[in-house]
Every structure is written in C-alpha cells, then in structure tokens.
Structure 1
Amino acid sequence: MGTGKRGLLTAAVTVVCAVTVLAAPGTAFAAPTPTPSTSATPGASPTPPPSKDLQKVRDKLDRLYHDAEVATDAYNAAEERTKEQSARIVALAKKIVEGQQRLEKLKNQAGAAAAAQYRTGGLPPTAQFLLSDDPQQFIDGAGTVLNGQRATNKLIAEMTRTQKDLQDYAEDASAQWQKLDANRKAKAAAKKKIKQQITEAEKLESQLEQKEKERLAKLEQEAAYKSQTEWLDTGILKEVKGKASEQGRQAVEFATAQLGKPYVWGAEGPDSFDCSGLTSQAWAKAGRPVPRTSQEQWKQLKHVDIKDMRPGDLVIYFDDASHVAMYVGDGAIIHAPRPGRTVTVAGAGSMPILGVVRPDA
C-alpha cells in the first residue's frame, strides 16, 4: 500500500474511533486528579499549591484565542476584498487603455474629415452642391451631404460616448483604489491584533510549569467532553440521520486527509489551515466554492436545522460566527481549533453552536 493511501487510511481509522466515543451519550468524564504536594527536605514546610488559578488562566486563554480568531476572520475578509479590488482595478485599467485607443482612432477620423474639407477649398459640402448648376450633381450632392451629416453626427456621438466611458472608468478606478487602501489598512490592523492576542496567550502559557500545562490541557478536554455529553443527552443525535451528498462526501474526504496539520491564522493549505480556510478549501475541492470566512459562510449559505444536518455541512460556533467546523457524522466534527493546535476530530457539541449551513443546498 502506498504512503498516501496508508495516511488516508490512518486518518479514516482516527475519525471512526473518535466518532464512536463522541457519539455515546451519557458518558462520564473523571475530574483531574489533584497533584500531591511534596517537601524539598525532611521537616521542611510543604510546597504550597500553584499560585495560578488554572481555570482563570483557561478562561483568559479562551478569550485571547477567541479574539484572535475574530481578528483572523476580519483579516481574511479584508484579504478577499483586496484580491477582488485588485482584479477590478486591473480590468478597469485595461478598459481605460482600450478606450484611449478608441478615442485616438475617432480623433484621427475627425482629423481626416477636416483635412478633406480643407482640400475642397474650405466650403462645406452643403454650400458646394447648392452653388452647382448641374441638376444631377445637385441631387447627388444632397444624398452625399445627408450621408456626411449622419457620419459626422455618429462620429461625434461615438467620441462623446467614449469620453464618458473613460471618465466613468477613471472614477470607478479611483473608488476601487480608495477601497483597496482601506482594506489594506484593515488587514494591517487585524494582523496586528492577531499577533498581539496570540503573543499574549503564548506568553501566558509559557509562564506555566509543565504539570500546570498538563492540568490545563486536561481542563480544556474535560470542558469539551462535558459540553458534548450535555449536547448528546438532549437526544438530538437520534434525529440527525441525514446522509452526505456526493459533494459533501468529497468535502469530508478532503477534511479528513488534513488531520494533524497545524493551525495557522490566514492559512488555507496545503500544509496548514485556519478554521474557515479548511472548510472553504474542502468545499472548493468538492467543486462548490464557498465564502472564505466563517462569518460570510454563516451569512451567505443556506441555514438548516441541526436535526437535518448531514456530513459535509458546516457547523458555525459562537454568537459572532467566529468559528466553523465540518460535520462528519455520528456527532463529530473536523476542525482547525486554534494556534498551537492541529486539525482534529471533536464533538459537534463541544462548543456553543450558533447554527448549521449547507454549501450544496
């Protein structure tokens, strides 16, 4: 078996094992075992317990990483708008060049008409045929003058329209440049906030001792399991029986293949992802492009009831739609959690669910 197939098989086995546990309602999870204190030397006072309140540390870390994720969504949205505006400016620049070439051609035509009039002695065609003594020439001249007037009017109209188009293109380009500049500033501000939040979180975690880090990780895991258990105990999973569409199956297959890859804010593969980078790329691979950010996925995609969700649907979390995951069935999701974590399987109810959206509705 090739390396790629072995990797995919391993990922699939991981998902199956995980959802078997995650789909079991009523599962009890033990509280962390207290760490006994020790004395450095006989007769010495016992070492005091850790001064840090780990629950407060966890709450603060959650806030920092949540704020970083909100800023990441803002960064990604500004990035998408920047790409769109850059493409629009390029298209407008092309139209401006084409319009200038068209206007130059029309000016040349007008110049040629003026030169022809000069060669006839400066008299306009109307005056020339009116002064003629030849009746046939008069009749022929009348048609020529009429055609000439029509051609002149058409030329003037084309020049006027082309000049108006050029003015519109220039104004549109100017507006797009202003939007581009605004979104570049928005990107820079979001990037700064992301780095500040992540740096503060990493600094806070670095101050913990190894045992405290282990206890903190256990607290996080237990909180997620508790939330998942409460969600399952509502009986909701008995109602969730939807089967994946063909495109949904392809999206799940892509997401499964990314298990273990690191979370990096602003990333959309192939080696790392943020939460919406993973879901948007999964559905792009399935042939159904979706908005880049979790907030736009929530705004633009069709909402479905939780009881009607099926594998491939996107589960949106928190009141501000700042996180997104892909439902893979049996009460489980695949998502890119946060900085310092990797793409993983989790319980669909392990975080506060805002709602569910379907890309291929």
Structure 2
Amino acid sequence: MRTTVSKRRSGRNRRQGQVALGSAVLSALIAGGIAIPAAADPPVGSNITAIPDPGARPQPEGLPALPLGSLSQPRTQPTTAQALLLAQYSAAELELSVLAARRSELYQTYANAIVAKALADFAWRATADDLRTAKQEAEAAAVAAYQGAVKAPPQLGNSLDELEQLIPHTDAPPHTEAALADLARARQDERQAYTVLTAAIDAEHQASSAYSAVETEFKRKEVAFLELKRRLAELQSEADRLRELEQENLGSYDAGQSNAGLVAHPKAREAVMFALSQRGKPYRWGDEGPNTYDCSGLMLASYLSAGVRLNRVAKDQYYGTRHKTVSKNALLPGDLLFYATDPSDWRTIHHVAMYLGNGRVVQARTTGDVVRISTVNLGSVDFATRVVDALPAPNQPAPTRTSTPTQTASPRPPASSSPPPASSSPSASSSPSPKPSQSPSPASPVPSNTPPPVPDPA
C-alpha cells in the first residue's frame, strides 16, 4: 500500500516537473523569437472521443422578432399577370387620386393668392394716388404760407423740396399744418399698403411654385397610370366586360327606395337622376360640366341642378355636410360617400361618390375614365353624409289598435248555455225599447250568427 502511494507521488512529481520544464522551454523560445513549428501542434479535435449530446433545440414561438419590432404577416402575392397588373393599377389609381386632391387644394390656394395680390395692388395704387394728392396740397399750402410771410411773387417755384429751405422758421398757419398732417398720414398708409402688396406677391409666388411642382408630378404619374390602364384593358376578359355592362344596366331604377323607414328628399332624387344622365362623359380634373367632370364637380353640378349648392372640393363637401352623417346601414340615394387616406382625418379625403342604393354608386373616378355606375364596397368607405334631410317613407303600415284586436274576438256563448237567473222573464226579451246590450260596442264585437246575450235584470 505504501509502495503504491509512493509510486503515484513520484509519477505526479515527474509529470509536474515535465510540465514546468516544458513551460520554461516554451517561454525561452517565445522570448528568443524562435517560431514553433506548426507540425508540433496536435490536430484540432484529436482528444474528442465521442459526439457531445446536442440537447433539445428550442422551438420558435410565432414569427421571429427584429430589433425594431416583429415581422408582419406575409401577404398573398398575385398569381396571374392580370391580377398583378390589377394590383399595380389599383395602387397607381389611389396615388393619382391623392395627388389630384392635393393639386386641387393647391390650385385653390394659388387662385386665392392671385385674388389677394390683385386686391393688395388695388389698395396700394389707391394709397399712392392719395399720397400724390397730399403732396400737391402740402406744396400748395407751403407756397401760400411762404408768400404770405415774405410777400414773394407768385411765379416763385412751387417745389416743396426747394421751398422747405426758404420758409422762415415761424409757426405755420393752421391750414398748412393740416396739409402736412394729411401728407404724413398718406405716406404712412402708402407704406403699409406697399408692405401688404409685397407679402401678397411673395405668397402668390410660393403658391405658384407649390402648385407647379404637384402639377408636374401629377402629369408624370398620369402618363404611367394611363399606360397601366391600357395594358389592363388588353388583358381584360370578355366576362369582365359583360359584367361591367350588366353593372351599368339600371333597369327599372327607383330613386325613391326606402331604408330604415325613410326615403330620399325630392331634391336628392333630382340630383341622382341628373348624375345618372351624365354617364359616359369623360373625367377631367377641375371640371364641373357640362361635358366633362371630376369627382366633386359631378356632385356639385348634380345638386346644383336641384337648387342645392355644395362646396367645390371633396373634403370641403364633407365639411359642409358633416352635421348630417349617415350610418352605412341607413344610406339613401343621393347620400355622399367619401374616401380618405387616413380614416381618422377628414382632411385627407381625396374622392367622393353618390350612393344609388342596392350597393351601387355613380361617380367620376379618375383620369381616363368616364362617369359610370360602380359597385361599392361599404367597408372601404370612410365617411358618409346626407345633403338634404330625408322624409318618412309613405304607405308605412299603421300601428295596430290594441283596444280592438281582431285576433282576440271570439263568439259569445249563447244565452242557453249559461242562462242568467232572470232569463225566463218575458219583459227582458220582449221589451220594445232597445237595450244597450243589443247593439254591441266596438270594444267587444259580437258575431252576427250568435244571438245577442240576455241583459241582466234591473
């Protein structure tokens, strides 16, 4: 036992000595700058005798997370050439519609700036004329004051700039002071008017630049959109064309259809019929008829034909009728449907259509299209308003009178089935004067085939 322990200790001491010797040699080699041959290193993995246990790999839960948020759900991509082109067309149509609304807004701003500049120019010219007149009156008053003070001859020069150095330093007459005060006031008014004119000119230049930029972008997008429309028309099948023709066929259309117990006002019906009469006329931005329309121009002309004036731009048409919002379940012909890029902000409205009923609208959609009837997806409508208050629907069923229900009337039993105590009295049955019980009241009708009940004895 003691010998075995001694052998173990001697072997451990020998290994420790070898390790210490090797470390010392290695340190000396490194310090001396001698490179160690690569062949002296053991091959990587030479001491591995078994594959380590891989363990249980964690299973992902849901979509992988990114540093800035999770991945969105993948969307189904169009599979056919027509579907792909239709998706591009829809995106381009939306973008063009938003640009058209922006262009319309900037055009109105530009038009307002032109009017403001014209008014400011007119006001400035008026103040300039007043200033010129005030100068002439001040010069005449100064000349008269000087002549009165020094008895100068009348042919002396009448320039105010020259006479100011010759006038004696004495108190000016009252009329001269008034003329000088008018001159100072006219000069101040002219300066203020010129400042307003300068600001109006700058605003007009800015509005013109903004409108020109959007106009250029709109025309560029419009060319691309029309090309997409042409290519889509080439791919459109005969079934699609037949479906569009069927959609355009109104049949026996009635603008007086009711919903929620109401019908459209006659003025709203008149506007609907006018809009339908414009079908087939081309879309053209900024036009209000009679030959071409844009979306809000068609609404404006339709209601104007019924004697109701709307605002010009789609979002302004919503703002003007915002107090008469309508539920999508209670729409009537003539109601206005609005589309916006942000459903929570009416200022982003870019398109308007007129509801016809039965899930259809009449609208002037976009460039390259015509006034047409379209099927509407109410889920895509962001706002709906009513221009003219609706009326109660005629021929509504009257409420049933609870005092005389017809279903509860039942024949009264004959007198013989339950005779009263005095049923055998001849005076009760042969009385010449009619008793009240012989003429039944409306509250308790008695069938004609049933004998009248015997009255109770008095």
Normalised by the length of structure 1, the TM-score is: 0.64
Note if contact 1:76-1:293 (Cα within 8 Å) is conserved in structure 2: yes
Note if contact 1:72-1:194 (Cα within 8 Å) is conserved in structure 2: no
Equivalences for residues 182-331 of structure 1 within 5 A: 182-206=210-234, 208=235, 212-217=236-241, 238-239=259-260, 241-244=262-265, 246=267, 248-302=268-322, 303-306=324-327, 307=329, 309-317=331-339, 319-320=341-342, 321-329=349-357, 331=359
Note if contact 2:113-2:200 (Cα within 8 Å) is conserved in structure 1: no
1:279 & 1:338 partners in 2: Cα distance?
A: 14
2:137 & 2:122 partners in 1: Cα distance?
A: 23
Q: CA deviation at 1:84?
A: 2.3
Q: Does 1:169 align with 2:171?
A: no
1:294 & 1:166 partners in 2: Cα distance?
A: 36
Q: CA deviation at 1:172?
A: 2.4
2:106 & 2:83 partners in 1: Cα distance?
A: 35
| Count of aligned pairs between the two proteins | 277
- Alignment CA distance shift 1:337-1:146 (3 Å): closer
2:171 to 118, 126, 140: 126
Normalized per residue, the structure richer in helix is 1
Letter in 1 for 2:339: Y
Note if contact 1:117-1:124 (Cα within 8 Å) is conserved in structure 2: no
1:184 & 1:94 partners in 2: Cα distance?
A: 26
Q: Deviations over 1:99-120 (max 9, x none)?
A: 2222211221222222223323
The residue that corresponds to 1:73 in the other structure is 101
- Alignment CA distance shift 1:213-1:96 (3 Å): farther
1:55 to 83, 89, 92: 83
Stretches of structure 2 lacking an aligned partner (at least 5 in a row): 1-78, 151-166, 249-257, 343-348, 390-458
Q: Deviations over 1:233-291 (max 9, x none)?
A: xxxx8427242253x34432431221222233444322122222211232344444434
Note if contact 2:134-2:183 (Cα within 8 Å) is conserved in structure 1: yes
Q: CA deviation at 1:292?
A: 3.1
Letter in 2 for 1:317: Y
Q: CA deviation at 1:93?
A: 2.3
Q: CA deviation at 1:166?
A: 2.4
2:261 & 2:105 partners in 1: Cα distance?
A: 32
- Alignment CA distance shift 1:217-1:91 (3 Å): same
2:209 to 181, 205, 208: 181
Note if contact 1:77-1:292 (Cα within 8 Å) is conserved in structure 2: no
2:243 & 2:88 partners in 1: Cα distance?
A: 13
Question: Helix, strand or coil: the match of 1:322?
Answer: strand
Q: Does 1:88 align with 2:116?
A: yes
- Alignment CA distance shift 1:317-1:168 (3 Å): closer
Note if contact 1:58-1:220 (Cα within 8 Å) is conserved in structure 2: no
Question: Helix, strand or coil: the match of 2:264?
Answer: coil
Note if contact 2:138-2:176 (Cα within 8 Å) is conserved in structure 1: no
Note if contact 2:124-2:194 (Cα within 8 Å) is conserved in structure 1: yes
Letter in 2 for 1:257: S
The residue that corresponds to 1:103 in the other structure is 131
Stretches of structure 1 lacking an aligned partner (at least 5 in a row): 1-50, 128-144, 226-236
2:241 & 2:90 partners in 1: Cα distance?
A: 12
The residue that corresponds to 1:18 in the other structure is none
Moved more, 165-174 or 289-298: 289-298
Note if contact 1:80-1:292 (Cα within 8 Å) is conserved in structure 2: no
Note if contact 2:117-2:197 (Cα within 8 Å) is conserved in structure 1: no
The residue that corresponds to 1:44 in the other structure is none
Question: Helix, strand or coil: the match of 1:316?
Answer: strand
Note if contact 1:54-1:216 (Cα within 8 Å) is conserved in structure 2: no
Question: Helix, strand or coil: the match of 1:312?
Answer: coil
Note if contact 1:71-1:191 (Cα within 8 Å) is conserved in structure 2: no
2:132 & 2:179 partners in 1: Cα distance?
A: 17
Larger Rg: 2
2:232 & 2:196 partners in 1: Cα distance?
A: 54
2:116 & 2:307 partners in 1: Cα distance?
A: 24
Moved more, 99-108 or 116-125: 116-125
The residue that corresponds to 1:114 in the other structure is 142
2:192 & 2:286 partners in 1: Cα distance?
A: 41
- Alignment CA distance shift 1:245-1:159 (3 Å): farther
Question: Helix, strand or coil: the match of 2:171?
Answer: helix
Letter in 2 for 1:263: Y
Letter in 2 for 1:74: R
2:189 & 2:312 partners in 1: Cα distance?
A: 39
| Greater relative CO, 1 or 2 (CA 8 Å, sep 6+) | 1
Q: CA deviation at 1:356?
A: 0.9
2:262 & 2:313 partners in 1: Cα distance?
A: 27
1:350 & 1:213 partners in 2: Cα distance?
A: 26
